[in-house]
Amino acid sequence: MNNKFIYLLAFCSGFCIMGIELLGGRILAPYFGSSIHIWGSIITVFMLSLSFGYLLGGKLSTRSVSLKHYGIIFILAGLTILPIVYFAQALMELIFVNIEDSRYGSLLAATGLFFIPTLFIGMLSPYSVRLLTTHQDNSGNIAGNLYFTSTLGSALGTIITSFYLVLYFDVNNIVLSFSFTLIILGLTAWFVCLLRREKTVY
């Protein structure tokens, strides 16, 4: 298994998740505004979702790991991003009409839109560590390198999305590009697995 390929996937997943989080403010703003409690809702949902994703990904990695399963998580993350594009407006209209307080309305809307895809993306980090770890002695070093790579991707995703992408592209198109990127990465991982006839690691 090519370790550089795993690091590349971790970098891209970090890029996508922070890009989506940053766009969350733009998505919610037409209905709930852009005050600090809107961002509080978005950040809370992303942090909680990532934490549960880390937990589930860690548990999944103790059972069996393979590049094929890793790719499936990417594909699921990409697919669950799509409702943000196609159903966000209807969901926010429903919440806006029924919940007067924008604090709780934004929290519920952010949960409905971002919790599931962020959960899947959160699963990738512990799963990546398990894929890369061949000896227990170097697990700490691998985890450090992986989180460095993923966080670097997140930093670049934040600045590129905020400085450039939002200036030239529609928000929905950017979200779609993140979705397709994750799906393509997942399919690539699956293809590499089949090409190498990789066996599941127990």
Per residue in 47-96, pLDDT (tens digit) is 999 999 999 999 998 887 889 899 999 999 999 999 999 999 999 999 99
- What are the tens digits of pLDDT across the range 95-153? 999 998 999 999 999 999 999 999 999 999 999 998 988 776 677 888 899 999 999 99
Residue 201's beta-bridge partner residues?
Answer: 65
Number of folded domains that form the chain:
1
Domain for residue 146, yes or no? yes
- pLDDT-based confidence at residue 196 (cuts at 50, 70, 90): confident
The yes-or-no verdict on residue 155 having pLDDT over 80 is yes
Tokens of 2: 């090519």
Domain for residue 37, yes or no? yes
pLDDT computed for residue 139 by the predictor = 74
Domain for residue 50, yes or no? yes
DSSP SS3 for 99 = coil
Tokens of 10: 């971790």
C-beta neighbour count of 70 within 10 angstroms = 26
The yes-or-no verdict on residue 202 having pLDDT over 70 is no
Residue 160 maps to which CATH number?
A: 1.20.1250.20
C-beta of residue 121 within 8 angstroms of C-beta of residue 53: yes
pLDDT computed for residue 197 by the predictor = 67
Q: Which residues span the domain enclosing 60?
A: 3-196
Domain for residue 17, yes or no? yes
Domain for residue 201, yes or no? no
Average pLDDT over residues 158-179: 96
pLDDT computed for residue 137 by the predictor = 67
With CA atoms as reference, report the closest residue to 177 among 155, 160, 152. Answer: 160
pLDDT computed for residue 100 by the predictor = 87
Domain for residue 106, yes or no? yes
Segments of 33-184 assigned E as strands: none
Domain for residue 141, yes or no? yes
pLDDT computed for residue 201 by the predictor = 47
With CA atoms as reference, report the closest residue to 79 among 158, 154, 169, 178. Answer: 178
Domain for residue 135, yes or no? yes
Q: What is the pTM of this model?
A: 0.91
